[in-house]
């Protein structure tokens, strides 16, 4: 039996979904609302870390300034920044910008339910959504001011629209699928690998059915038009896509586990994937859609690993589009296993048990709080400084890394003078840090100074030479960020 016939045999389920019953509309809305409640409750937990501060810095400039940044200084995420800039016009606060990421996660959950219901059944759809929205990796990026929650949604949307285009053959469906692919690739270049794997898998087994040539050409032109504006920045800042020093088997295992949620959650997901893979191997012709769910994320992960042998780029968050498909594959694997081992009435027990297990882990891990460790909490650091600062104090940021973006995001809102940075132009994203030698004159008359450091980085020599003594009054650490309150003694009228 061909894949096309197996798809036809499943037509009654697809018809029920396409018929637009009340449950078909309400269930994905419930999934989206649940994600929104969890996400919005956590949006203000912690301050921005530097990646989020960069996103905020991009959208909090004029449209012309942002255009200059996106075409020459910030590689990737152009569609995300344009949408976030528009969103920020309505909700510009820190929590507001994070709410846009929450919206992306809610859209991903709703789309995943719809796609799993179309391809499989309602039990698989519910289990897929539960496995996705309780996954620590999903929760980590649900409230981060970056594009990864939207990459979850774009991954599902691409699979859905490509499948729809192949089933209907309509030109408008081809163009919608092309738009999803183009936006995804323009958001992150590695999305091209995911999209290629999806198109390949959903195009196989279609027999002699071919899509109309004209919509295909127009779709290809649309993808190129969406991706082309991002190319100059990628060329200019190609190093921005490299975040690891090397690639090894340990890196592959660690980042893959991270993608799947780590710990017991990743183990549950892996077991479901193994079962799904066995079903596909045993009955490939009757498991056409399940094979898509298994093969697409597997090919994506392996392809990125292969690229990393040449240029290390294997980072879990870059694999974000694969997570919803992994959740759907695991859910389908568990439901298929239950139906083969148990009676039709008892088979529901397996997915229910899996959902209960991940919900327990979800609650134990604290779904309504984000206590991520290892990140610089610039908001708390600046708040600590502001509580102790007087109008005559000075503040300097002795940080070379991008962490200074996060500190600047909050010190810009402080009344304390900051001689340790140069103001950036509207068309320049990354601020330059002034060496201490450049602002020593501005310290004249100041008796105290707050200094932001990343230990073990030392205090600059020119500061030490300027002051006869720099006595530490108080210091505090916030992640790897340290704030030191110094008493300045110049030994005279400097």
pLDDT digits (tens, 9 = 90+) for 368-420: 655 554 456 788 888 898 888 888 888 877 776 667 777 878 876 565 556 56
**Mean pLDDT value of segment 197-223:** 85
Taking alpha carbons only, the member of 396, 404, 417, 402 closest to residue 486 is: 396
Q: How many CB atoms lie within 10 A of CB 12?
A: 8
Name which of 63, 55, 127 is nearest 97 in CA terms. 55
Nearby residues of 264 by Cβ (< 8 Å), 6 or more positions away: 357, 361
| For residue 49, pLDDT beyond 90 | no
pTM: 0.88
Query: Per-residue pLDDT tens for 73-129?
Result: 887 899 999 999 999 999 999 999 999 999 999 999 999 999 999 999 999 999 999
Pairing assessment for the beta strands 394-397 and 481-489 based on DSSP bridges: unpaired
d(CA 494, CA 487) in angstroms, rounded, equals 15
Question: Model confidence over 408-462: pLDDT tens digits?
Answer: 788 765 655 565 666 667 777 777 667 776 677 777 778 888 888 887 777 777 7
**Residue 444 has what pLDDT?**
74
Q: What does residue 489 show for φ and ψ, rounded to 5 degrees?
A: -125, 105
CA 175 to CA 160: how far, in whole Å?
Answer: 13
Q: How far apart are alpha carbons 129 and 420 in whole angstroms?
A: 48
Name every residue whose Cβ is closer than 8 Å to that of residue 257 and which is 6 or more positions away in sequence. Answer: 266
| 345-374 per-position pLDDT tens digit | 788 888 999 999 999 988 887 666 555 544
Q: Which H or E element spans position 285?
A: none
User: Is pLDDT above 80 for 331?
Assistant: yes
What separation in angstroms does the CA of 135 have from each of 109, 260, 472? 12, 7, 44
- Each residue of 225-237: b (16+ CB within 10 Å) or e? ebbeebeebeeee
Cα dihedral 422→423→426→429 (10° resolution): 50
Distance, in Å, from the CA atom of 270 to the CA atom of 274, rounded to the nearest integer, reads 6
**CA–CA separation, 482 and 67 (whole Å):** 34
- Paired tokens of 231: 């190319």
- Of the segments 105-109, 286-290, 476-480, which one has the largest average pLDDT value? 105-109
Identify the H or E element spanning 119: helix 94-119
Q: Is 150 or 479 the better-scoring residue by pLDDT?
A: 150
């Amino acid at each position: 039996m061909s894949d096309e016939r197996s798809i036809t045999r499943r037509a009654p389920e697809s018809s029920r979904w396409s018929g637009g019953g009340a449950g078909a509309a309400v269930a994905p809305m419930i999934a989206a609302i649940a994600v929104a409640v969890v996400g919005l409750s956590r949006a203000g937990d912690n301050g921005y870390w530097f990646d989020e501060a960069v996103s905020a810095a991009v959208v909090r400039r004029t449209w012309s300034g942002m255009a200059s940044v996106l075409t020459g200084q910030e590689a990737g995420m152009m569609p995300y920044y344009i949408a976030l800039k528009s969103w920020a016009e309505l909700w510009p606060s820190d929590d507001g910008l994070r709410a846009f990421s929450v919206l992306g996660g809610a859209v991903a959950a709703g789309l995943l339910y719809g796609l799993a219901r179309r391809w499989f059944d309602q039990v698989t759809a519910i289990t897929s959504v539960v496995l996705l929205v309780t996954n620590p990796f999903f929760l980590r990026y649900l409230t981060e001011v970056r594009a990864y929650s939207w990459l979850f949604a774009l991954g599902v949307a691409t699979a859905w629209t490509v499948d729809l285009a192949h089933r209907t053959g309509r030109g408008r469906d081809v163009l919608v699928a092309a738009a999803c692919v183009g936006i995804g690739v323009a958001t992150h270049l590695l999305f091209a690998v995911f999209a290629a794997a999806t198109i390949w898998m959903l195009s196989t087994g279609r027999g002699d059915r071919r899509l109309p040539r004209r919509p295909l050409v127009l779709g290809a032109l649309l993808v190129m038009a969406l991706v082309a504006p991002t190319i100059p920045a990628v060329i200019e800042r190609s190093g921005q896509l490299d975040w690891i020093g090397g690639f090894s088997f340990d890196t592959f295992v660690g980042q893959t586990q991270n993608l799947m949620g780590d710990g017991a959650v990743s183990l549950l997901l892996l077991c479901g994937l193994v079962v799904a893979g066995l079903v596909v191997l045993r009955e490939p012709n009757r498991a056409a859609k399940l094979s898509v769910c298994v093969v697409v994320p597997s090919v994506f992960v392996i392809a990125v690993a292969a690229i990393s042998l040449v240029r290390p780029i294997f980072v879990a968050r870059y694999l974000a589009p694969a997570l919803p498909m992994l959740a759907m594959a695991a859910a389908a694997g568990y439901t298929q296993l239950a139906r083969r081992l148990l009676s039709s009435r008892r088979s529901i027990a397996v997915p229910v048990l899996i959902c209960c297990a991940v919900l327990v882990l979800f609650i134990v891990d604290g779904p309504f709080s984000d206590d991520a460790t290892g990140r610089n909490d610039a908001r708390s650091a600046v708040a600590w400084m502001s509580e102790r600062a007087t109008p005559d104090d000075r503040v300097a940021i002795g940080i070379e890394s991008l962490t200074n973006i996060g500190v600047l995001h909050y010190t810009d809102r402080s009344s304390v003078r900051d001689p340790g940075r140069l103001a950036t132009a509207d068309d320049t994203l990354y601020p330059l840090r002034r060496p201490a030698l450049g602002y020593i004159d501005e310290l004249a008359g100041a008796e105290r100074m707050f200094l932001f450091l990343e230990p073990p980085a030392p205090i600059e020599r020119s500061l030490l030479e300027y002051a006869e003594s720099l006595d530490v009054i108080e210091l505090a650490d916030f992640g790897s960020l340290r704030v030191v309150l110094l008493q300045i003694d110049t030994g005279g009228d400097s």
